[in-house]
Structure 1
Amino acid sequence: MKIFKRWIGMLALSLCIAPAAHAGKPYKYYAVGDTSDAVVPRPAQQSFVLMGGGPDVDDAFKWMIRKGGGGNFVVIRATGTDAYNPYIFAMGGVRSVETIVVPSRDAASDPFVLQRLRGAEAVFIAGGDQGDYLQYWKGTPLSATLQELANRNVPIGGTSAGLAVLGQFIYSGLNQSVTSSEALANPYSKNVTLDRDFLSLPPLLGAITDSHLDARDRLGRLVTFLARVVNDGWTSTARGIGVDVETALLVENGQASRVGVGAVYFLKTVGLPQVCAPQTPLTYQNVGVQRLSGTGTFDLDNWSGYGATSNYSLSAVKGTLVSSQPGGAIY
């Protein structure tokens, strides 16, 4: 009994010491499982998960685990808890799941944070506020390490705000979140805040992403983002990827498939907007849309869908979104 009590006491002490090891640090760190470095074969192809927010998609995490070969799965975020740790660890196939809360540029330069990231076999950027990610992480050793991981074909995924920072062009959301009606009415509203080049991921070059597309009616604002990117001279042809809630796009070597309950929308611009100016409703005609649902696939390199895809066009006409689909449905 004395030995048992001593063991319980030592265990309780170790549980108290573990968090204290990071006390006073600019980050928070949580882990489950064996966090020693795993040695697994390097993945042959780049792979990414673009998740649309809302309920998480189990199949997307399982896919990332397989593509990374197991080992250490790292979640990064600027705020929040370690809720992903038990959720992902219960899926099996990983040595550990670690969550690192990185709420400042100091934390994004911390050697421990960078060391844990570099040892990851998969990295997932949680939801939250993409404005935080850009202010705290862009141009820091953390973003450089994420780029190194992508270049080494380590799977990278993100949901909601984590999805927003994966495209070359980014809705930064630095002010109040903009609605479709507000963006279409004034594409230069103070809430239409854009950024770019957090990461360079070849399948997503020239693209801007958006999440919660159906649930929050964001297709109109995505069209506006595309208009701004082209009108401001960032690119001559812009692409948009909008993902419904509880839906994920799985991308490997530029080829994409969909899992979850919703659809994924792929938009592409043709030329400059007809009218895109401050305090003026947007007019931008014939933005091509391909809607991916079911078991269809999408080639990001050729920007072409196969299988369960539908094709139509959207036009913003004096701030109102008009669709070429029968009945005028925009989704």
Structure 2
Amino acid sequence: MYKVVLIILFSFQFSFSQDYVEYATGNTTDFVVNPDSGICLMGGASESDEAMVWFLNKANGGDVVVLRTSGSSGYNNYFYSELGVTVNSVTTFVIYNEEGATNEYVLSKVENAEAIWFAGGDQYNYVSYFKDNALEDALNNFVNVKGGVIGGTSAGMAILGSGYFSAQNGTITTAQALSNPYHSRATLGYNDFLEIPFLEDIITDTHYDNPDRRGRHSAFLARYATDNTSRAFGIACNEYTAVCVDSDGKAYVYGDYPNYEEHAFFIQTNCATDYLPENCTSGNPLNWLQSNEALKVYKVPGMTTGENYFDLSDWQTGSGGEWQNWFINNGTFMTSTTVNPNCNNVLNTPEFEVETVTIFPNPFRDVITIQSENLNLKFQMFDVLGKQIDINRNTNTINTSSLESGIYFLKVEGHNVVKTFKLIKN
């Protein structure tokens, strides 16, 4: 009896001392291939097969890593053999703590992957285990240097924007968020976790079939705009809807419309000089009217073909959707129909007619071409961490052959132009 008790006790302690569990399917030998960059955002219910095929094709036959903090191996066979896309392997890691997230073996698998997928669950576990450590660095390196495809569903989608709702104190309802945007449950993070191209200044939300989500999401964006004194953006999906963002910023929407009401929502603070909420303070109802045009929203039905899209490179161009106004009247969420916002004069640009400057191609490889009538422009290039990079510029080209693959920012200054271009090197 004594030995039996010891065995049971040892097994119990072992089960709770594990830092992670691995589920592996496919070839155990790493397959080295260049992936195609992209982002896949899934609304939180069962996956859109068409969107997942898009996601897997970006891996170019390489290795897929699934990161989750609960559950088991549900994605392995689905990704490996049920969608008709050949990949070398699918490895799921169920991470139980920060030690599991920063385990050298787990990190090596993440670094060698061509596609990374975040499952659902408790998003605060993702923030607690993956942020401010070696896994955060590996994930940002995977996206911005290696150029791999990344995505997630539900909680896994919620963490992908540069702004995010952490759910540290549990979920929050629209009523709570709109009656007090600084409610104790409105726990937000800003620009301190994942750095994903085209998701800057964006807070994502999921399970949008529940209309209650729209109001609380608006409160998150009000907080972002107020706390950072900058325009805020949002992407949201109904539960069976997916948004797949290509390397050029076009976000294609997948779903089964018109059989079902499956939509994605692309939300932005109005591109006007005065865009901040009239009242976004602790303990008071949110008031964000701005002539009933506080938020401009492009609502896009998801098709099995993914033909409808919204362009995240300009936040104005889209196909197949409709524009709405969202606004908050003393804690009450309201909507109306509207037209495409005129954002040609983007905020934070000088108050004069801007000269035309075109930079191409983007993404680029070894040479960037500059097209402008002004030959006296000043150029500065920075990496994704803000470090200035020496550039070799001729009259209308910049030689970038010495740069590694990743995200770069090119600041252009002249007499009548101040503009920053986000560029991707393959």
TM-score range, shorter chain: 0.7 to 0.9
Number of aligned pairs?
Answer: 302
Q: 2:198 aligns with which of 166, 179, 203?
A: 203
Partner residue in 2 for 1:309: 321
Is it true that 1:230 corresponds to 2:212 in the alignment?
no
Q: 2:50 aligns with which of 41, 59, 66?
A: 59
Partner residue in 2 for 1:265: 265
Percentage of identical aligned residues: 37
Question: Are 2:35 and 2:58, in contact at CA under 8 Å, matched by a contact in 1?
Answer: no
2:88 and 2:229 map into 1 onto residues whose CA distance is 42
Partner residue in 2 for 1:12: none
2:277 and 2:90 map into 1 onto residues whose CA distance is 46
Alpha-carbon offset, residue 216 of structure 1: 5.6
1:42 and 1:101 map into 2 onto residues whose CA distance is 24
Is it true that 1:173 corresponds to 2:167 in the alignment?
yes
2:329 and 2:21 map into 1 onto residues whose CA distance is 48
Alpha-carbon offset, residue 260 of structure 1: 1.5
Summarize the alignment of residues 67-106 of structure 1 with structure 2, pairs less than 5 Å apart.
67-90=58-81, 91=83, 92-106=85-99
What SS class does the counterpart of residue 304 from structure 1 fall into? coil
Higher mean displacement: 220-229 or 260-269? 260-269
What residue ranges of structure 1 are gaps of 5+ in the alignment?
1-21, 327-331
1:248 and 1:31 map into 2 onto residues whose CA distance is 26
Question: Are 1:296 and 1:305, in contact at CA under 8 Å, matched by a contact in 2?
Answer: no
Partner residue in 1 for 2:186: 192
Deviant stretches of 4+, over 4 Å: 22-25
1:156 and 1:139 map into 2 onto residues whose CA distance is 19
Matched letter for residue 219 of structure 2:
T
Partner residue in 1 for 2:212: 217
What SS class does the counterpart of residue 68 from structure 1 fall into? coil
Question: Are 2:34 and 2:60, in contact at CA under 8 Å, matched by a contact in 1?
Answer: yes
Partner residue in 1 for 2:148: 154
After superposition, the Cα gap between the structure-2 partners of 1:30 and 1:107, relative to the gap in structure 1 and judged at 3 Å, is same
Alpha-carbon offset, residue 56 of structure 1: 1.3
* TM-score, normalised relative to structure 2: 0.68
Alpha-carbon offset, residue 35 of structure 1: 2.1
1:255 and 1:177 map into 2 onto residues whose CA distance is 31
2:111 and 2:17 map into 1 onto residues whose CA distance is 23
* TM-score, normalised relative to structure 1: 0.87
Alpha-carbon offset, residue 279 of structure 1: 2.0
CA RMSD of aligned residues (A): 1.7
Question: Are 2:38 and 2:244, in contact at CA under 8 Å, matched by a contact in 1?
Answer: yes
Higher RCO, Cα 8 Å, sep 6+:
1
Higher mean displacement: 203-212 or 303-312? 303-312
Question: Are 1:257 and 1:298, in contact at CA under 8 Å, matched by a contact in 2?
Answer: yes
Is it true that 1:275 corresponds to 2:283 in the alignment?
no
Partner residue in 2 for 1:16: none
Matched letter for residue 299 of structure 2:
R
1:230 and 1:322 map into 2 onto residues whose CA distance is 19
Higher mean displacement: 244-253 or 33-42? 33-42
Can you list the C-alpha shifts for 1:201-239, whole angstroms capped at 9, x where unaligned? Answer: 12000111000012363010110000011111x241000
Matched letter for residue 93 of structure 2:
I
2:30 and 2:73 map into 1 onto residues whose CA distance is 20
Matched letter for residue 266 of structure 1:
F
Question: Are 1:215 and 1:245, in contact at CA under 8 Å, matched by a contact in 2?
Answer: no
Summarize the alignment of residues 24-63 of structure 1 with structure 2, pairs less than 5 Å apart.
25-43=18-36, 46-63=37-54
Higher mean displacement: 123-132 or 276-285? 276-285
